[in-house]
Chain A
Amino acid sequence: MRKLRLAAADSWVMTGRNMAHVVRSPEEIGIYFMLPITFVLVFGYVFGSGMQVPDGGNYREFLLPGVFAMTMLYGMGATATSVAHDAQRGVVDRFRSLPIARSALLTGRSVADLFRALLEMTVLLVCGLLVGWTWHRGAGYALLAVALLLALRMAMTWIGIYVGLLVPNPDTVGTIIFPLAFPLTAVSNVFVAPELMPGWLGTISEWNPLSATVAAMRELFGNPGLAGGSTSWPAENAVALAIAWPLVLVAVFAPLAVRRYQRLSR
């Protein structure tokens, strides 16, 4: 118990360190917000205005929860890059020679990135409202949807941390994250309803963790599901799946990342 409390304290100090990094290099903040803003504007306007919607629903309303989730997914790249930079820094030697919880640097990173995600989320929602998207089932459900989005981000953060520790140098992060993230967004319900895809692709798309969160958000925000009412299990249980997937991903990738970190330069 005492150990856990100390580990939490160490992680909190590390979180503060990562936040201080953001404050000391404000140009990075600009870069963080570029992504959500361009995603909403580009996808919301370009696709949102051009697409015909078969069931008469608003495509922009359909699209935006997907764009929110996509932003969370690509946030993995920023996490991986920071971690890869950190792993190269000499300061990691000092962290590793201190009598602190070994996971502190990584948990500190994940908490700091969650704060960062909160800011991104605010930008996303504001941009969304500006382009005409909104929630229809009240603030309570909307907040729940945001919580699910944060859960997804948490999972992506731990995958990002693991990837960041695997790559030999920070410049290669992009070349790994993109092929990882792109199929995940393409084969999902972000742009097209899975029911409209060929059978097996539709199944993959429905079980995709990204799709789970997006479907749950559409349900909770009251945004159209497009082609409406799939009766498959993942579609019916979107919220449960949107809770389960992040938990599973964190349970797999957090221990992998911590173990990898402990073996750095041994």
Chain B
Amino acid sequence: MAEHAIVAEGLRKRYGDTYALDGFDLTVAAGTLHGVLGPNGAGKTTAVRSLATLLRYDAGRATVCGYDVAREPHRVRGAIGLTGQYAAVDETLSGRQNLVLFGRLHRMSKRAAGRRADALLERFGLTEAAGKSAGQYSGGMRRRLDLAASIIRTPRVLFLDEPTTGLDPRSRNEVWDAVRDLLAAGTTVLLTTQYLEEADQLADRISVVDAGRVIAEGTADELKARIGGDRIEIVTRRAADLVAVAGLLERITGTAAVTDPDTRRVGAPVTDRVAALTEVVRALHAAGLTVEDIGTRRPTLDEAFLRLTADRTGKTEVAA
């Protein structure tokens, strides 16, 4: 197997005046899970559909498992599984009929397809609903059926476009478990998500996408580090104290503080958090300022995400 399961270089896809992909680059090592994060309309679905041979990109180059996506789409299709953003199951057929159909299209015998269907229905908690039309499934059930359909034959590369959107916590855990099992079996996974927690939990590496292009790439820790390390956070007792506290914080940390009058919060990045915290507490005491809460914390991936995408769109960051 190629060392890189997925490679995309400078992918471009235009719809009218908008570039859904505008120089999209991606490299995913075999056997890893790569997360793709991005706001609505960033181009995540377009990227996944292009790599899964459903869309033809206008420019650029892409390979999956070493096969050229544009020139050898049939070979790519033989290596991948796809769970799109919208469930791709036959709504007239029952859940079981769906899985048997796709199994047969994977050239399994009738019997083997039936056995596989039953095993997958069991695994995704759909055994009871096996005979019902997929059209009568709830959104979450349909998504699970869709995921089951895309792993009927263990794919070498699995594309998951927001696989857990709209799932309850239990179903989400089932999906995560299934994904971890696939990873353990050597499958490479490309996963797009709105849930940063999901990327944080599952992804080996993450690409942050905005306006059709990757604006940051790295491990979750690297991305968090990129927007600065720890922060001191203070909640003042009275809104009137905000300015004084912010001034004090800036003097000690030597960095710009962010204030949010609504929540009476002041925050600023620090390098040595324990020393800074001690000094701030002492200074507050000396100045006679009482506060409701004070502490240090690491940035969440959400903050990293908001910061990174805000830089591009020029929006101001929401104070944490």
Contacts and interface: CB of A to CB of B under 8 A. Distances in A.
B77 A90 contact: no
B289 interface: no
Contact of B93 (A10, A21, A265, A266): A21
A21 B102 contact: no
Interface of A: 6, 9-10, 13, 16-17, 20-21, 24-25, 89-100, 104, 265-266
A94 B91 CA distance: 13
Among all A-B residue pairs, the 3 with the closest Cβ atoms: A94-B88, A99-B78, A99-B77
Interface in B86-100: 86-94, 97
Interface in B69-128: 74-75, 77-78, 80, 82, 84, 86-94, 97, 101-102, 104-107
Given A13-B105, A24-B133, A98-B105, A90 B88 contact: yes
Contacts of B106: 98
15 contacts: A9-B107, A13-B104, A17-B93, A20-B93, A20-B97, A21-B92, A21-B93, A25-B92, A90-B86, A93-B84, A94-B84, A98-B106, A99-B78, A100-B105, A104-B105
Interface of B: 52-56, 74-75, 77-78, 80, 82, 84, 86-94, 97, 101-102, 104-107, 133, 149-150
Contacts of B86: 90
Contacts of B55: 265-266
Nearest to B82: A97
A94 B82 contact: yes
B77 A24 contact: no
A20 B94 CA distance: 10
Contacts of A96: 53-54
A6 B107 contact: yes
A10 B97 CA distance: 16
Given A96-B53, A99-B75, A265-B54, 17 more contacts: A6-B107, A9-B107, A17-B101, A20-B97, A21-B93, A91-B90, A93-B54, A94-B88, A95-B105, A96-B54, A97-B52, A97-B53, A97-B82, A97-B88, A98-B77, A98-B106, A99-B74
A89 B91 contact: yes
A266 to B, nearest CB: 5
A90 B83 CA distance: 11
Contacts of A89: 90-91
Contact of A266 (B56, B87, B104, B150): B56
Contacts of B102: 94, 98
A94 B53 CA distance: 11
Contacts of B107: 6, 9
A10 B101 CA distance: 10
A24 B131 CA distance: 11
Contacts of A99: 74-75, 77-78
A248 B231 CA distance: 75
A76 B88 CA distance: 27
A91 B97 CA distance: 13
A91 B54 CA distance: 12
A87 to B, nearest CB: 13
Contacts of A10: 105
Among A24, A94, A104: residue with most chain B CB under 10 A: A94
A90 to B, nearest CB: 4
A99 B90 CA distance: 18
Contact of B89 (A16, A24, A91): A91
A91 B88 CA distance: 4
Nearest to B106: A98
Contacts of B90: 17, 89, 91
Among A16, A25, A93: residue with most chain B CB under 10 A: A93
Contacts of B105: 10, 13, 95, 98, 100, 104
Contacts of B91: 89, 91
